[in-house]
Structure 1
Amino acid sequence: MAKTFKNGISLHRLLEAAPLAALATFLETADKGDYAAIFFELPWQTAGEDSGSAALREQLIDLGNELQADAAVPLDRHAQRILTLAEGRGVEPVNRVAARIFEQAHIDAFDTQLDDLGRSLWLYQYEPALFDEAESLFYADHYRNFGGMYEAFELDADTVVAFVWDDSVKHALETQIQERLELTGRCTVTHLQVTGKDQAGKEQQQHLVIVRHGGPLSSVAEFREADGSRGDRYYRPLSEATLLFSPDEGVLEVFSASPSVRQQVATCFAETGLKIDLSDRPLTLKQYNFKRFLTSLNLSTPTIAGFDVDRVAVVEVDVRPDNPKHRAGLKVSISDDIEDVAEALFGKDHLFKRAASLARIVIAVRYTQYGTKKSKTLNITLSEPNRCNLRSNRDPVQRELGYALLTAWGVLHQVKPLTLVQEHVLLPALLQLFDQTKKEVPGQFFLTRGLDPEALLDGGFIEPRGRYVSLLLDEDGTTHEVNVRSAGKPGVIAYDHPKDGSTVELPASAADKYAIRRDWLDEIVLKRLKAPLVSAELIKLDENLTYLGKIKLGAEAAPCYLARDLRSPTTLQRLDILMRARSDKGVGLVLSAGRDHPLCLGPNVIAAVADHLATSDQESSLDINRLASVFTQGKQLARGGMVVALVKKDNYSATLYIPGKPSLALVGVKAIGFFQALVDAYHKGSPAVPTKQLMSAAGSLSPSPRQLLGNEFWSSVEGVYVGFPPGVKRGSYQLLV
C-alpha cells in the first residue's frame, strides 16, 4: 500500500537522505532532547550494514510520519534550516565558516562527513554559532533581490578604506548601535571575515558583521496544563541585521526588514569601524531622477576632471505613454540626435514628450581618459525603479566617470541620513505626507501646501516616478479631473478650466509624480511620536490607526493612538466603530496626522500633532503640557458630556454626545439629519419619533434606518445610542439616554 508522508517535506528529506549516525545524534539532542524518547527504541546499531540501514531508514520514516504536530512542526523547521545550507548556494557559506572551527577533533569530524548534507547537519549540531553565521552569509546574498530587506550604501571616499576588527571596535560598535537605535537592552555584534568575488570573478576579502538585539517586550498567551488557566509568557523577539563590507568596492550592503536600522547600522559601521567622518564623507544611497528626460532627451557635455568627453547622447528610450501596461521605445546610434529622429518619425508633439513615465534610458558616452590615446564608449542604463547598471560595471574608472556625469546632469540624487534636528524640522511636512493613504502623490500636493519636495527627497521619504497626464483639482468643494498638457513655455503646463473652459497654467512640477516610501516614513514618524510615551507598544489596529502605548497627561497615563485620513468619511466611520469597541481601555488621546478631524473618536480626545509640536530645544517631539490641557478639556465630551447634544463641525461631520456613553462620530448630511431629529425630539420632551418622520428629516426615501445608515454602522448603534421606545417594537425610534 502506498504511503503518504504528512509531516513536512523538509523533515522527510532529512530522514530519507542524512547520514544515519548524524541523524541519531540530532534526534537525540534536538530541542534539549525533547524528542529523544520517540526514536530511542530504533535499532541504531544496524546503521552500518546496508540491509540494516535500509530497514532502519524505513522505520525512521514511518515513525516520523506518526509524529504529533508538537514534535513534527519544530523538527521540520530544524530540517528546513539544515537543508537550506546543504544544497545550491548554501554549501559555500558552510565551507567558509568551517575554516573557523578551532578544535582539531571538530575539524577532523567535519572533514570526515560524506556529503554536503552531512556537513550542514554536523555544523548545526556541534557548532551552532558558526551555523548561524553561515545562515547570515547565505541570506546576505539571497536578500540582494528583495528591496524591502536590502540597501547598498557607497562610501564617498577617494581611497580604499582599511578595516581592522578587534575588541575595541566590537565594544564601540555595540555601544554606538545601542544608542542610535535607542535600545533599552544589550546589543551584540559578531564579525566574520569571508572571501567573496567581484563582478569580474576575482576573489576579494569581505567583512560580515551580524547585529543582534532584543525587540520590544511582547507576550503570547499560553495554556497552563496544571490548572487549565490562561497565562502570559513574556519575551523579547530577536531583531537582526547583517552588514557586508567589500573594501575593494567601498560598498556597505545592509540586510534588515527595518529601513532606519539599515541606515543607522551602516552609519555606525562607517563612523566606528572605518573611522570616516560623515560630516565630510557622508554615507550615501543613490537614487536616480528621470524627470529631466520627460522634457528633453538632449544632454549637455559637462567637464569632468581627468577625462575628455567627446560625445554624450541618449541612444535608447522606453516610455509608458498614458497607461502602465502600454510601452513604446526608440533606439538610435550615438551619432544620431534622438530628438530629431523622434520628430522626423512622429512629429513635433511626439509621444516621448508626452510620456507619463520612463521605463528605461540608455546613454552612450564617448570619452578619452587623460594619459591614454584610445577613445572608449561607456553605456549607462537607467531603469525603473531606481536602477543603474554602473553598480555592476567592472571598470572602476568607468564607474567614477558615469556617476560624475549623472551628478552633473542632475540625474543622480544622494540620500543622506538625517540628524535628530533635521528630523524635527521636517516633522510637520512628514505628518502631512503620513496623512495620505495613496502610494503616489503629484507635485501639486507639495505646491498647495508650501512643502519642499527636495528636502523630502534628500531624506529618502519620496522617490521620483515620472509625471501625471491628469490632475485632480478642487473647485468650490467639487473635485474635477483635468488633463494637463504642455503650455508651450519652459517649465509650464496647462489645463482647461472644468467650468468655463479657460486655459489655466501651472508650474510643470505640479504634474511630477512621487512615490511615498511608506515603510521609511512610518518608521520615522512613529519613532518621533513614541519617544515621550511612558510605555511604548506599537500595535497596528487598522491601516489608518496605530496604538502607540501609554502617555502621561497630567496625573494620569492615558492610551495614545496615531490616526491618519480622519478627513475621509469612510475612514472616520470605520475607526469610530473600532474605537468604541475599545471603550474599556478608558478615555484616550488620538493624535491626528492631519488637521481636518472631529472633536472625538469613540471615547477618545483628538488632537492634531502639528498643533502640539515642541520647540527644537526640547527632548520630546510633543508639547506634553499643551496636550494635557487639551485632553483635560476634551475628556468630558469624549465620555458623552453632561447633556445630550449634537455638535456639528461642518455640513458633513458632527458628533453626538450622550451622558455616560462614548461620543459618536457622524458623517454625511443624511446621518446628521437623522440624529438631529432624535436630539430635537428628546429636548422637546417627546423622545419617540416615527420612522417616516426620521427618514424625511434625513432627506431620504429609504424605508428603514439600516438602509439609510448602512448595515455595519446601524448594527453598532442600535440598542446603544438609538432604539425602540418602551413597549414599542416597530414604527418609531428614540435616543437611549
Structure 2
Amino acid sequence: MARAPYKTCPGLFRLAEFAHPGDILGFLRQEEFQREKWLGKYLPEQGDELASGTLDQILQQEKKTRLDPLEREASRILKVIEPRGQFALEGLVKSRMRPNEQAEFGRAKDQFCRSLWSYLNHRLIFEAVESEIHRRLYRTYAKHYKSYPVVQARNVRPDQRDAAIAAFIEDIQIRLDKGDGCRVERFDIPVGPEEPAAEMYIIYHPNALASAREINEEGERRTIYFRPPGEATVIYTPSTGVAEIRADTQLIREEVAESFACSLLDGQLSKEPLGFREYDLSRFLEGLELDCPELSGFQVKSARVLKADICVGSLANRLSLSTTKQHHLDDLIDRIPGLRNAFRNAVAMRFVDIFVEYTMSGDAEPRTLDFTISDQNTCSLQSLPEEHERVLGHRLLKRWGILREFRRLTAAEANATMPVLLELWNAGLAEVSGSWIGTRGLDETILTSTGFLTPVGWEDVDLVEENAVQMDAQIVVEGSRALQVLTRGTQMDGGDALHYRRFKVDQGWVLQHLRDVLPDALDEVLVESLSPDLHALGALHVDDGLVPVYLARSLSDPRVLAASDQLTRARSDRGTGLVLSAVREPFRCLASNVLAPLVDHIGTDIDMKTMSREMLVQAFRNNRVLAQGGRAVELVWDGGDIGELFVPGKGTVQIKGRSRLIPVDKLVKAYKSGVKAVRTGTLTEHCPGTQFRNVFGAALWTTLEGNFIRSAGHGAWEIAA
C-alpha cells in the first residue's frame, strides 16, 4: 500500500478527495494507462459508473511503484492550479473553446476541477498551459531558454496564418532533419499583470530512434523501438518584437529561432543582448545604508544589508560580516574600531545580502524580500518564484544605482568605440582585461553599459620584469590603485586597479552592431554573411558603376586569408569591390578587390555617419588599378614573411611565408627578363624533395594555378600573364 498517500501521492489524493467519480473514471481510462493491466480489476464494465471510494481503495491496496504512472499524470493537473497556470488556462479557454464548452468549464467548482476538466476534454489546451508555465520557469533559471529580438518582422494576418505556419513547418523539418511528423499549434496568450499579449507556437517534432528493454508482470522481456517526441516552444510578443525560445538543446533553439523569424515572420534575428544586466556593488564601500524610495504598487517600509563580503589587502583575503534581520549592519561596523576603514579601503565588494520589508498597494499584509548579489554579476532575484518580487527587486536596484541595464550607444560613442570594437571582432577575443581597453584610450563603462562587455572577475597575477629577469607578481588592489608584490616581498606600483578587471566579450553583439551601423554610408544596403570572417554590406555608386563593399577580419591568419580570397573571387562577376579590413593589413588588395582599413574611414564629427562615404570612394579610386592587377607584373616583397603579387588582368593575391615567396620571386624576375619559364627544380631548390604545388599548400595553390601561375610544359612554370 502507499503509506500516507497525502504525502507520497498528493496528486492522486487530491483527485480522490475533490473530483467527481465520473471524472475519476475518465482519468483512470486515459490512454497513458492502457498498459497498466492491474487497473482492470478496479474499473467497472463499459457504461457503468465508478463505485464511490474506488480511488481510495487503490491508494490503500497498491504499492507506490505501481501508482507512479498515475501520480505523474495527477501531478501535472496539480501544477496547472498555480495562479499563472489558471490565468493562461482561462485565456486559452476563451480564445479556443466553443461557447457551450466554455460554459461547462465555468461550472467546475474550483481550480483543481477546472484543471482536471481541461486535462480530460482538451488535452491540447492543457499542454499549452504547461508549456507557458515551463517557459517561465526556464526563463527564471536561464536554462534551455533564450530570447531573440526579431527585426523587420511582418504582421501575419489571420488569412495568411495557415500558409505561414505551413512554410514554417516545411522549413523547420529541413533544418532539424529529424524526419516527417513535425506539427505546430498556435495559441493566443492574453495580457497579463506585467506582460503584454503574446502568441505561443508549440512545435512538436520526432527525435532520433530509441529503444528500451521491458519486462512485464509475467516476467516476459522484449525490446521496444520508438521515436520519442521532442517539443520546442516559441512565445512571440508583437509589441516588443521579442521571440522567446524554449527547447532542449542550443542547436534546436537556434534553428527554431532562425526558422521562426525568417519563414513565418519574414524577418531577421538580432544579436542585441536583451537580458544584459550589470550589478555595481562599489557604492557599499562608502556605506551600507539603503533608502526606501516611493514605487508605484509598493510601499517599502525598510531596506538593509544583512551580509557583506569584502576583500582586504588582496583578492585572496575575504572578510565576511553578517547580522540578523532585526539589526543594521552599518551600526555594527561603526561600533567595532577600524572596521569602517576596512570597508572604505577594501579591494572589492564581493557579495551582499539585502533584506526588504514592504506591502503591496491595496493589501495591508506585511511582506519580506531577501536576495543576494555577487561581484560575478549574478543576482538571486532571477530564481524567486513570485513575479512581483522580481519586479520590486529590480526596480529597487535601479533606484539605488546598483543595476545597470542595456542601453544603445550614442552617435558620439559609436564613432569613439568603433576602433576598439573592430579590434575585438578581428581578434575574436572571448575575454579582455581592463588594461587592454585602457591602453586604447576608452572608458570601459561605455562598453559594459551597452552590453559589449560583462565584468567577470579580477586578475590575480601579472608578469613583470626586474633587473632583466621576468617573474610573477601578485596583484594587490588598494582603493583605486594596484600594487605588484614580488615573491620576496618587494612592492611595485601597478597603476590603475581597473586595469586588472576581467571582462567577457559578447562577440555576437559586436558583429551585429558592426553590421547595423556600417552600411549607413552605402548607397545600397544588402547585408549577407559569406563566412564568419567575411560579410557583404552592400554597394557604392562610383563612376557610373556599382562597387560591392565587404567587411573582413583576421586576414593575418593564412587560412582565413585564403578562404576570404576564394569567396571574393567567386563573386568577381560583380566587378572590382572594396574590402574593409577590421585592422590595418600589410597589403592593399584582396583578390581583385581594393583592401582598405576601416579605421581610416571612420567619421570624427558627431553628426557624421560612422563611415565617411567620400573617404571610401577615394580609397577605392586610389587602388582600383592595382586591384585589377596593375599595369605590369610585380611582386611587392621586402624579403620578409608576406608579399603581394600583381598580374594585369588577373588581379592580386597575398602570399604569406618566405618559402612560398622565393619561387614566386624567381618566376616574376624570369618574366621581366623575357625568359618567362623556370624549371621546377630551380623553383624548389630551397626546399629539396618537395613538389612545387605542395610548397604553397592546397588552399593557396587553388588560387594560384591557372590564375597567376601556369605550366609551361616539360617540368617548367611561368607567370600567367
TM-score computed with the length of structure 1 as normaliser: 0.55
How far 1:526 sits from its partner (Å)? 0.7
1:653 maps onto 2:642 in alignment: yes
1:76 aligned residue: none
2:95 aligned residue: 100
1:736 maps onto 2:716 in alignment: no
Q: Structure 1 vs Structure 2: percent identity of aligned residues? A: 20
1:710 maps onto 2:704 in alignment: no
Q: 1:528 aligns with which of 507, 517, 531?
A: 517
Q: 2:372 aligns with which of 363, 377, 380?
A: 380
Task: Return closer, same or farther for 1:462/1:667 CA change in 2, 3 Å cut-off.
Answer: same
For 1:516, the aligned partner's letter is: V
Task: Return closer, same or farther for 1:303/1:489 CA change in 2, 3 Å cut-off.
Answer: closer
Secondary structure of residue in 1 paired with 2:287? coil
Secondary structure of residue in 2 paired with 1:530? helix
Q: 2:506 aligns with which of 517, 526, 530?
A: 517
2:308 aligned residue: 314
How far 1:379 sits from its partner (Å)? 5.1
| CA distance in 2: counterparts of 1:116 and 1:311, whole angstroms | 46
Matches within 5 A, 1:228-377: 241-242=236-237, 255=244, 286-289=277-280, 300-302=287-289, 304-305=291-292, 313-314=307-308, 334=323, 362-364=351-353
How far 1:99 sits from its partner (Å)? 1.8
Task: Return closer, same or farther for 1:121/1:406 CA change in 2, 3 Å cut-off.
Answer: closer
How far 1:193 sits from its partner (Å)? 3.0
1:267 aligned residue: none
How far 1:329 sits from its partner (Å)? 9.7
Kept in 1, the 8 Å contact 2:141–2:383? The answer is no
1:722 maps onto 2:709 in alignment: yes
Task: Return closer, same or farther for 1:407/1:606 CA change in 2, 3 Å cut-off.
Answer: farther
Kept in 1, the 8 Å contact 2:534–2:551? The answer is yes
Task: Return closer, same or farther for 1:471/1:441 CA change in 2, 3 Å cut-off.
Answer: farther
Q: 1:454 aligns with which of 445, 455, 468?
A: 445
| CA distance in 2: counterparts of 1:398 and 1:122, whole angstroms | 28
Kept in 2, the 8 Å contact 1:86–1:117? The answer is no
Q: 1:193 aligns with which of 190, 193, 199?
A: 190
Secondary structure of residue in 2 paired with 1:559? strand
| CA distance in 1: counterparts of 2:392 and 2:699, whole angstroms | 61
Kept in 1, the 8 Å contact 2:536–2:551? The answer is yes
1:561 aligned residue: 550
How far 1:118 sits from its partner (Å)? 5.9
1:465 maps onto 2:460 in alignment: no
Kept in 2, the 8 Å contact 1:561–1:591? The answer is yes
How far 1:580 sits from its partner (Å)? 2.6
Secondary structure of residue in 1 paired with 2:122? helix
For 1:521, the aligned partner's letter is: V
For 2:619, the aligned partner's letter is: V
Secondary structure of residue in 2 paired with 1:572? helix
How far 1:96 sits from its partner (Å)? 2.6
How far 1:414 sits from its partner (Å)? 3.8
For 1:100, the aligned partner's letter is: S
| CA distance in 2: counterparts of 1:458 and 1:377, whole angstroms | 27
1:437 aligned residue: 428
| CA distance in 1: counterparts of 2:582 and 2:123, whole angstroms | 50
TM-score computed with the length of structure 2 as normaliser: 0.57
| CA distance in 2: counterparts of 1:635 and 1:86, whole angstroms | 71
How far 1:107 sits from its partner (Å)? 4.6
**1:123-162 CA-partner distances (Å, limit 9, x unpaired):** 99xxxxxx8x99889756655555896569xxxxxxxxxx
**1:227-272 CA-partner distances (Å, limit 9, x unpaired):** xxxxxxxxxxxx9842799xxxxxx9974899xx9xxxxxxxxxxx
**Unpaired stretches in structure 2, ≥5 consecutive residues:** 1-29, 33-45, 47-75, 108-115, 159-186, 202-233, 246-252, 258-273, 294-300, 334-341
**1:526-560 CA-partner distances (Å, limit 9, x unpaired):** 11123344544333222111122333334222222
| CA distance in 2: counterparts of 1:186 and 1:377, whole angstroms | 41
More deviation in 545-554 or 661-670?
A: 545-554
| CA distance in 2: counterparts of 1:531 and 1:143, whole angstroms | 35
| CA distance in 2: counterparts of 1:462 and 1:407, whole angstroms | 23
**Bigger CA radius of gyration:** 2
Secondary structure of residue in 2 paired with 1:446? helix
Kept in 1, the 8 Å contact 2:306–2:352? The answer is yes
| CA distance in 2: counterparts of 1:117 and 1:581, whole angstroms | 60
Task: Return closer, same or farther for 1:624/1:184 CA change in 2, 3 Å cut-off.
Answer: farther
Task: Return closer, same or farther for 1:482/1:655 CA change in 2, 3 Å cut-off.
Answer: farther
**1:581-614 CA-partner distances (Å, limit 9, x unpaired):** 3333332221222233521111211222232234
Task: Return closer, same or farther for 1:461/1:116 CA change in 2, 3 Å cut-off.
Answer: same
Task: Return closer, same or farther for 1:441/1:188 CA change in 2, 3 Å cut-off.
Answer: farther
| CA distance in 2: counterparts of 1:527 and 1:398, whole angstroms | 33
1:66 aligned residue: none
The alignment covers a number of residue pairs equal to 518
Kept in 2, the 8 Å contact 1:604–1:638? The answer is yes
Secondary structure of residue in 2 paired with 1:594? coil
Matches within 5 A, 1:614-693: 614=603, 616=605, 620-648=609-637, 651-693=640-682
Kept in 1, the 8 Å contact 2:459–2:475? The answer is no
| CA distance in 1: counterparts of 2:385 and 2:134, whole angstroms | 24
Secondary structure of residue in 2 paired with 1:97? helix
CA RMSD after TM alignment: 5.7
Q: 1:119 aligns with which of 119, 122, 125?
A: 122
**1:609-629 CA-partner distances (Å, limit 9, x unpaired):** 232234657675332232122
1:578 aligned residue: 567
Task: Return closer, same or farther for 1:146/1:604 CA change in 2, 3 Å cut-off.
Answer: farther
Secondary structure of residue in 1 paired with 2:561? helix
